[in-house]
Amino acid sequence: MEVLAISVDSRFSHKIWQEVELSKMVEGGVPFPLLSDPGGKIGQVYGVYDEESGVNIRGRFLIDPEGVIQAMEVLTPPVGRNVSELIRQVKAYQHVAATGEVTPSGWQPGKPTLKPGPDLVGRVWEVWKPEYAS
**What pLDDT is recorded for position 2?**
85
Q: What is the mean pLDDT of residues 66-90?
A: 90
The CATH classification number of 1-75 equals 3.40.30.10
Whether the per-residue pLDDT at 55 is higher than 80: the answer is yes
> pLDDT grade, residue 79 (50/70/90)?
confident
Q: 81-101 as b/e, with b when 16 or more CB fall inside 10 Å?
A: eeeeeeebbeebbebbeeeee
Predicted confidence (pLDDT) per residue in 29-46, tens digit: 888 899 999 999 999 999
Domain extents in the chain: 1-75, 82-134
Instruction: List residues bridging with 74 in a β-sheet.
Output: 59
